Each structure stands twice: as structure tokens, then as C-alpha cells.
Amino acid sequence: MIRVQQQDFDPAEEYRALRNSGSGTGAIATFTGLVRDSGDLSGVTGLFLEHYPGMTEQVIEGLVLEASRRWDVRDARIIHRVGSLALADQIVFVGVCSAHRGDAFAACEFIMDALKTSAPFWKKEITGDTEHWVEQKAADLDRTQSWD
């Protein structure tokens, strides 16, 4: 399940769906990203998130397929918000369920890392009345390459 949407999401609903994925599920790993007060800038009051409709969903589907090739993945649920977000808002959710905990952790972290460097989303930080397009971090590229 992959969703790109403006509206907020409820991780509890996603967790319930993962938990109901069958009696072989022993492990559920989830990640949620929130808008925090310091990114490239400090004093961040909000974000604007742009994406490339169509391509985004395709890229994320590819990441889930790749994760499923590498690890035991019973189900994966990914939500990414776009548009205007406020401080402390939820941005992204990645949840994976598996028979085994190592697989659940690895697949969840892999999808999250790869999403940051290959899915066409762009973040603009807002601090009061200034705006700043976030620069890609070398550290994020390194994290993604570490899965190769």
C-alpha cells in the first residue's frame, strides 16, 4: 500500500493493517518522520513538500519490490505527505511486517533510506517569512549506497 497525499495519516491504522497480515507475522517495524524545528535552518516553522505525481508512486513501488527480493516482507505500507506542513506534523510513514525481526528492521530502514535519495520529493523549509529549498545531504546518499 503506497499513498502520496496532502492529508494527515494515522500510524495506528497502518499498524492494524500490518498486524492483520497473517499468522506468520512475528515482527512489525515502523518509522515515522516528523517536521522538526531545525533542518538546514534553525527555527523552522513549517515545510512545503512538492513531488512528481506518477513517478513518485512508481519509484516507491520499485523500492518495495527490491526490499521484498532481499528480505522476508509480508506487507509494507508507505505514506508520504505533500503540500504545506507545520512544525511537528507527520511527514512520512514506512511500516513493514515480516516473520522475523531482522528482516522487518532491514526492509523498513532500506525503504526509508532509498526513499530519501530516489523518490522525487522536494522539501522547502519555512522559517517565519523566509523560504529555503533543502539541499540533498551527502550523508543520505552514503546511507543509501551502504545497502548496495
Partner 1 sequence: MTMATDNSITVKFFARLREELDTTTLTVEAQPGLTAGQLLRSLATKGGSWAQLDGEQPVMIAVNQVMTKPDRALQPGDEVAFFPPVTGG
Q: Which residues bind partner 1 (CB under 8 A)?
A: 33, 49-52, 54-55, 58-59, 80, 91-92, 101, 112, 115-124, 133-136, 140
User: In angstroms, what is the minimal distance from the CB of 56 to partner 1?
Assistant: 8
Count of residues that bind its own copies according to CB under 8 A? 31
Indicate the DSSP class of residue 52: -
Answer with the entry of partner 1, its own copies, none that 3 interacts with (C-beta below 5 to 8 A by kind): none
User: In angstroms, what is the minimal distance from the CB of 128 to partner 1?
Assistant: 19
Neighbours of 103 (CB within 10 A): 21
Check residue 69 and give left, alpha or beta (phi > 0: left; psi -120 to 50: alpha). alpha
User: Residues 62-101: x/- map of binding to its own copies (CB under 8 A)?
Assistant: -------------------------xx----------x-x
Please give the span between the terminal C-alpha atoms of the chain, in angstroms, as a whole number: 24
Q: Which is nearer to its own copies, 4 or 110 (CB)?
A: 110
DSSP-derived pairing of the beta strands 83-86 and 46-51: antiparallel
Cα→Cα distances 93→10, 67, 148, Å? 9, 16, 23
Residues 18-47 that bind its own copies (CB under 8 A): 19, 23-38
| Largest interatomic CA distance in the chain | 52
Q: Which residues bind its own copies (CB under 8 A)?
A: 11-12, 15, 19, 23-38, 87-88, 99, 101-102, 104-105, 108-109, 112, 143
